């Protein structure tokens, strides 16, 4: 999947740094070069990174960093509203949340490919249904599992759905 043009790469993501600094201060936690490096790598990595993906990237700058630190820091970003954890059944993945527009996911059960989609129509419909039930939506996740185009083409012809 081609990486979406990243605004984060052009300019330092100041706002996220500020949000993190405020969150750390509120919780009596220290700012550290390591946390900053993890945040920077996370924002530049784009969407849907696993702990392993991020570990590989951060290790180039912070060789002493370990898997547990990456995971805990991502959970911290999640608490601070900077990251969203995606639970697709396998390995946990994270994506930046701050100032990103809402989207949902298709997940290929064969190769793990993740495809984002946005549908104002689905969003409107669920608001309507919730309204009818007197339900206030605070958030939602749509994850649709199936087979991506590539995996479908690799499958023997007979196995392909029509
Ligand atoms: Zn696939
Ligand atoms: Zn996504």
pLDDT digits (tens, 9 = 90+) for 33-90: 899 999 999 999 978 999 999 999 999 999 999 999 999 999 999 999 999 999 887 7
Residue 8, pLDDT above cutoff 60: no
Rounded to whole angstroms, the Cα distance separating 10 from 161 reads 43
Structural tokens at position 36: 């900053």
- E strands, 54-136, are 83-86, 93-96, 104-108, 114-117
Mean pLDDT of 125-131: 95
The answer to whether 17 and 24 are in contact (CB under 8 A) is: no
Q: Tell me how far the alpha carbon of residue 30 lies from the centroid of ligand 1, in angstroms.
A: 42
Structural tokens at position 143: 């994850």
Tell me the average pLDDT of the chain: 87
Q: Which one, of 66, 99, 67, lies nearest residue 81 by Cα?
A: 99
Q: Which ligand is nearest to the CA of 115?
A: 2
Q: Tell me how far the alpha carbon of residue 104 lies from the centroid of ligand 1, in angstroms.
A: 17
Residue 7, pLDDT above cutoff 80: no
Q: What is the pLDDT of residue 24?
A: 94
Q: Which ligand is nearest to the CA of 86?
A: 2
Residue 96, pLDDT above cutoff 70: yes
Q: Cα-atom radius of gyration of the chain, to the nearest Å?
A: 18
Q: Tell me how far the alpha carbon of residue 28 lies from the centroid of ligand 2, in angstroms.
A: 31
Report the predicted TM-score, pTM, of the whole model to 2 decimal places. Answer: 0.77
Rounded to whole angstroms, the Cα distance separating 46 from 94 reads 10
Angle at 63 between CA 61 and CA 65, to 5 degrees: 100
Lowest-pLDDT range of 7-16, 83-92, 109-118, 131-140: 7-16
Q: Tell me how far the alpha carbon of residue 160 lies from the centroid of ligand 1, in angstroms.
A: 13
Q: What is the pLDDT of residue 99?
A: 84
Q: Tell me how far the alpha carbon of residue 24 lies from the centroid of ligand 2, in angstroms.
A: 26
Q: Tell me how far the alpha carbon of residue 76 lies from the centroid of ligand 1, in angstroms.
A: 31
């Amino acid at each position: 999947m081609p990486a979406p043009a990243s605004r984060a790469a052009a300019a330092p993501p100041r706002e996220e740094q500020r949000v993190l600094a405020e969150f750390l201060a509120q919780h009596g936690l220290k700012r550290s070069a390591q946390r900053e490096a993890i945040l920077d790598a996370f924002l530049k990595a784009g969407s849907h990174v696993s702990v392993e993906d991020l570990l590989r990237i951060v290790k180039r700058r912070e060789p002493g960093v370990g898997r547990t630190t990456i995971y805990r820091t991502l959970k911290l970003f999640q608490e601070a509203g900077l990251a969203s954890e995606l639970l697709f059944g396998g390995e946990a993945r994270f994506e930046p949340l701050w100032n990103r527009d809402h989207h949902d996911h298709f997940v290929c059960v064969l190769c793990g490919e993740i495809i984002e989609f946005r549908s104002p129509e689905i969003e409107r419909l669920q608001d309507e249904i919730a309204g009818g039930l007197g339900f206030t939506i605070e958030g939602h996740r749509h994850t649709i599992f199936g087979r991506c185009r590539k995996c479908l083409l690799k499958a023997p012809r007979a196995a392909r759905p029509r």
